[in-house]
């Protein structure tokens, strides 16, 4: 049976935070969680875009709330500021959706000097999750969903000597590395939660091939060739379904990975996605976690 947002259980009384929710998959994720009864906080870097998304989501006839907060995931200082403001304002968090991302941009770095895709897609969300962990662990059954991509399979490993583009920059390679890091993070996070006994669940999801603005940096010719090779794009609402499934379904497995159930996980409805050996590698997961803790100065979860 196809799983859609109509299968989401009643989320009344729950609070969700969705990063990068001003458009695309993040917007559709926030909208569906709000329509299921959750109080939703959306984040974006641009205030005008955040306000527009807020107006598009909000239904005056509902009793639950949607609100926005500005967040720049390319700045560790801003992530800390945001997290302190969130905890002060809301005190509760049941669903953290690590959705925001950047794909194949021109060479650039975060405020802290990391290659932009690695810094935003992975390191920023690692820091955000750590800062918000105290309010996550206070609610039994809280979930953290981290967005991956089928592109992670093209990353052979994470080159820790090139995460600040010290050697070279290749946009597709760095994107794949950032998404491999996200999947390793989700799996290693669950291993650590199992060890500490915290009642938080970490899962990962990917949207398949979806029509969003994420591909805006791609060369137009290469983009058209990719469409011919991969087939038609799913609408954003359908690409959001694996994330929503991972966030709300009772049938998920802690540390699991979910994506479209069609051939190659390119399209379809939520199902279990393939995790390759590189993503599951215990040593690689520990090494990434150690690097991220050192880079951000945040250690979690702690016994």
- List Cβ neighbours of 121 (8 Å cut-off, separation of 6 or more): 100, 101, 102, 175, 178, 179, 181, 182
Q: What pLDDT is attached to residue 139?
A: 85
Find the mean pLDDT for residues 158-180: 97
Query: Given pLDDT bands bounded at 50, 70 and 90, which one contains residue 174?
Result: very high
Q: In what order do the strands lie in the sheet with 15-18?
A: 66-70, 39-44, 15-18, 95-98, 142-147, 200-205, 257-260, 270-272
Q: How far apart are CA 126 and CA 100, in angstroms?
A: 12
pLDDT digit string, tens, across residues 258-286 = 999 999 999 999 999 999 999 999 999 99
Q: In the predicted model, what is the mean pLDDT of the chain?
A: 94
Q: What pLDDT is attached to residue 223?
A: 41
Asked if 90 is an active-site residue, the reply is: no
Q: Which of 114, 175, 257, 300 is catalytic?
A: 175
Of the listed ranges 156-160, 164-168, 189-193, 222-226, the one predicted with least confidence: 222-226
**Contact call for residues 193 and 200 (beta carbons, < 8 A):** yes
pLDDT at 227 exceeding the cut of 60: no
Segments in the chain forming alpha helices (H): 24-35, 47-57, 76-90, 116-117, 125-137, 171-196, 220-230, 236-239, 241-248, 277-280, 282-296
Q: What pLDDT is attached to residue 56?
A: 98
The C-alpha angle 235, 30, 84, rounded to 5 degrees, equals 140
pLDDT at 217 exceeding the cut of 70: no
Tokens matching residue 32: 């569906």
Structural domains in the chain, CATH included, are 12-296 (3.40.50.720)
pLDDT digit string, tens, across residues 15-60 = 999 999 999 999 999 999 999 999 999 999 999 999 999 999 999 9
Could you tell me which residues are beta bridge partners of residue 16?
40, 95
pLDDT digit string, tens, across residues 231-260 = 678 999 999 999 999 999 999 999 999 999
Query: Given pLDDT bands bounded at 50, 70 and 90, which one contains residue 222?
Result: very low
Q: What is the dihedral of CA 18, 24, 30, 36, to 10 degrees?
A: -150
Query: Given pLDDT bands bounded at 50, 70 and 90, which one contains residue 230?
Result: low
Find the mean pLDDT for residues 198-205: 97
User: What does DSSP say about strands 66-70 and 95-98: parallel, antiparallel, or unpaired?
Assistant: unpaired
pLDDT digit string, tens, across residues 106-150 = 999 999 999 999 999 999 999 999 999 999 999 889 999 999 999
Q: How far apart are CA 191 and CA 282, in angstroms?
A: 9
């Amino acid at each position: 049976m196809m799983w859609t947002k109509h299968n989401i259980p009643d989320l009344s009384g729950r609070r969700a935070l969705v990063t990068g929710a001003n458009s695309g998959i993040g917007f559709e994720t926030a909208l569906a969680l709000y329509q299921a009864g959750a109080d939703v906080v959306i984040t974006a870097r641009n205030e005008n875009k955040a306000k527009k998304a807020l107006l598009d989501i909000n239904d005056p006839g509902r009793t639950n709330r949607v609100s926005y907060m500005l967040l720049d995931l390319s700045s560790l200082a801003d992530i800390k500021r945001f997290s302190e403001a969130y905890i002060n304002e809301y005190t509760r968090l049941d669903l953290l959706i690590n959705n925001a991302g950047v794909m194949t941009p021109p060479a650039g770095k975060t405020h802290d000097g990391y290659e932009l895709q690695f810094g935003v897609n992975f390191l920023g969300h690692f820091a955000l999750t750590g800062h918000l962990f105290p309010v996550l662990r206070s609610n039994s059954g809280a979930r953290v969903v981290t967005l991956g991509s089928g592109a992670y399979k093209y990353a052979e490993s994470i080159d820790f000597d090139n995460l600040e583009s010290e050697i070279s920059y290749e946009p597709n390679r760095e994107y794949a590395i950032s998404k491999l890091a996200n999947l390793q993070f989700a799996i290693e996070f669950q291993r650590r939660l199992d060890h500490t006994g915290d009642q938080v669940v970490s899962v990962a999801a990917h949207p398949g091939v979806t029509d969003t603005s994420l591909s805006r940096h791609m060369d137009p010719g290469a983009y058209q060739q990719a469409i011919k090779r991969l087939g038609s794009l799913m609408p954003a609402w359908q690409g959001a379904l694996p994330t929503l499934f991972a966030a709300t379904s009772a049938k998920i497995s802690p540390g699991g990975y979910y994506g479209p159930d069609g051939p190659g996980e390119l399209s379809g409805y939520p199902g279990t996605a393939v995790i390759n050996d590189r993503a599951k590698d215990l040593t690689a997961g520990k090494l990434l976690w150690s690097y991220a803790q050192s880079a951000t100065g945040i250690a979690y979860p702690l016994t």
